[in-house]
Amino acid sequence: MMTLRQVEVIRAVMVTGTIGGAAKLLNVSAPGISRLVKYTERSLGIRFFQRQNGRYFPTPEAENIFEQINGVYKKVDDLSEIISKIGRGGLSELRIGSVPSISQVMVPRAIERVRRRYPDLGIDINILKLEEAIDYLMLGRGECVAMSYRLEHSGLDFMPLASGELYCIVPPGHELAGRKQVSAAEITRYPLIGIDPNDPYGRIMAEIFARNRLAYNITIRARFGTTVCALVKAGLGIAIIDQFTVAHGGYPGIELLKITEPTRFDTYIAVKRGAPLSLHAESFIESLRAEMRAVEPSRGNGKAGGARGRKK
């Protein structure tokens, strides 16, 4: 029986034709190579080489052994290639989901980090409504979903992502434009776009309005943040948006005003309970959390430089 080290040494002598060449190839001493060759021949009772003018030539009886040794090295090379591909993300696919408010700005920034780490990784991103996330995870269609709300479900686990705030968005030239902040009472004086009380973000403002006995007029209903921003930009009203939808200037042409009343909310990553996460999914979650926490209200300069968003 030959050890892998013996196989490696015998092949090195076979390839280079000399003990010195094998030593250089393996970066070891020549005497060590010579001793191991002699020991292997004695222990197996097989003569591997004939020495002629300082060079080593395979013996006829060792030809079959050398063919097998080359076969072993071919498999090792194939294994190394596969390991290299896996290390770059090849042969794998990351399947993740996200609600729209997080998918617009935050997810692409996180994916860019993942791509730098795993340049050959296949990536499948699904934009999901909150109610679609359960089937997506429970049926194994993806590994995780970025959520704007925590659901109660026995088959799902929720991991914290980051906290955020809501902002009032107005078009340039609006009466509120140029201001740093605005109160809920001032917001209700203008036609509103969106604000669905059944929406996690909309519920926050609806409760503030109700608590202060403020009547408000919703002139246009729109589910997704990008649509809401476009309607505001067109001068059709003002709106309430989550900071992650408008993060990093994600939607130019509108102005952001901080809301006086507390509007803080939490976001999560949902995963199927008991299902192991791939390294790629863990990398995505880590990257997304880092991107979102970098723009949390309590961090940085407190501006909505990372804000954006609206519906799930």
State the average pLDDT over residues 236-257.
92
Spatial contact of 311 and 99, defined as CB atoms under 8 Å apart: yes
What angle, rounded to 10 degrees, do the helices at 279-293 and 106-117 form? 130
In the chain, the domains with their CATH numbers are 4-88 (1.10.10.10), 93-295 (3.40.190.290)
| CA-based nearest residue to 204, from 234, 249, 164 | 164
Q: Among 78-87, 132-141, 166-175, 236-245, which is the least confidently predicted range?
A: 78-87
| CA-based nearest residue to 105, from 271, 269, 294 | 294
| CA-based nearest residue to 245, from 232, 228, 266, 257 | 228
Report whether pLDDT(28) > 70.
yes
Over residues 127-178, the pLDDT tens digits come to 998 889 999 999 999 999 999 989 889 999 999 999 999 999 999 999 999 9
Confidence of residue 308 (pLDDT cuts 50, 70, 90): very low
pLDDT score at 161: 96
Confidence of residue 52 (pLDDT cuts 50, 70, 90): confident
Q: What is the SS3 assignment for 241?
A: strand
* Pairwise CA distance, residues 86 & 94, whole Å: 13
Strands 245-247 and 218-220, bridge-based pairing: unpaired
Burial of 133: CB neighbours in 10 Å, binned 0-12, 13-18, 19+ = buried
Confidence of residue 301 (pLDDT cuts 50, 70, 90): very low
Over residues 205-226, the pLDDT tens digits come to 989 999 999 998 889 988 788 8
pLDDT score at 266: 95
Residues 112-131 as b or e (16 or more Cβ within 10 Å = b) = ebbeebbeebebebeebebe
Confidence of residue 60 (pLDDT cuts 50, 70, 90): confident
More confident residue, 236 or 307: 236
Confidence of residue 200 (pLDDT cuts 50, 70, 90): confident
CA separation (Å) from 33 to 8, 19, 46, 134? 10, 6, 17, 62
Spatial contact of 105 and 247, defined as CB atoms under 8 Å apart: yes
Residues 210-242 as b or e (16 or more Cβ within 10 Å = b) = eeeebebebeeebebbbbbbbbbbeebbbbbbb
Any residues with CB less than 8 A from the CB of 43 and at least 6 apart, and which?
none
State the average pLDDT over residues 44-72.
84
